[in-house]
Amino acid sequence: MKKLLIALLFSLSFATFGAFAAVDLNTASQTELESVKGIGPKKAQAIIEYRQKNGLFKSVDELDNVPGFGKKTVDLVKKDLTVSGGTKAANSAKPADSKAVKEKK
């Protein structure tokens, strides 16, 4: 009985964690996108290519415009995805301007 209770609590903890771990369409890497049930390598790559060509997603429903996604697939993955307005800091960092660095000296 004790093992059953522990297994149940363990299962619930993963279910709860999954609710808080939504993947952001605008910042996710291919690996992060593939972690969503229903998105494999081809669909993850299609999302990234769409994002590069068309800019940031305005809503998860915009996935319907990505090749390989239809309404049924969008409805399946929608609960695990989110959309932000920003970009990851690592992607937005620009190298220092060499002239600016020289002028500071």
Place of tokens 């297994």: 7
Task: State the CB neighbour count (10 A cutoff) for residue 13.
Answer: 10
Per cent of the chain over pLDDT 70 is: 62
Write out pLDDT tens, residues 18-56: 445 799 999 999 999 999 999 999 999 999 999 999 999
**Domain with 29 in it:** 22-85
- Say whether 79 sits in a helix, a strand or coil: helix
- Whether 37 is covered by a domain: the verdict is yes
Sign of CA dihedral 80, 84, 90, 91: positive
- Whether 102 is covered by a domain: the verdict is no
- Whether 45 is covered by a domain: the verdict is yes
Listed in sequence order, the residues at least 6 apart from 18 whose beta carbon sits closer than 8 Å to its beta carbon are 80
Residue 6: pLDDT band with limits 50, 70, 90: low
- Whether 17 is covered by a domain: the verdict is no
- Whether 80 is covered by a domain: the verdict is yes
CATH number for position 58: 1.10.150.280
- Whether 79 is covered by a domain: the verdict is yes
pLDDT of residue 21: 75
Q: Whole-angstrom Cα distance, residue 105 to residue 100?
A: 9
pLDDT of residue 71: 92
Q: pTM value?
A: 0.63
* Count of structural domains, the chain: 1
- Whether 38 is covered by a domain: the verdict is yes
pLDDT of residue 87: 45
- Whether 73 is covered by a domain: the verdict is yes
Write out pLDDT tens, residues 48-87: 999 999 999 999 999 999 999 999 999 999 999 999 975 4
Listed in sequence order, the residues at least 6 apart from 3 whose beta carbon sits closer than 8 Å to its beta carbon are none
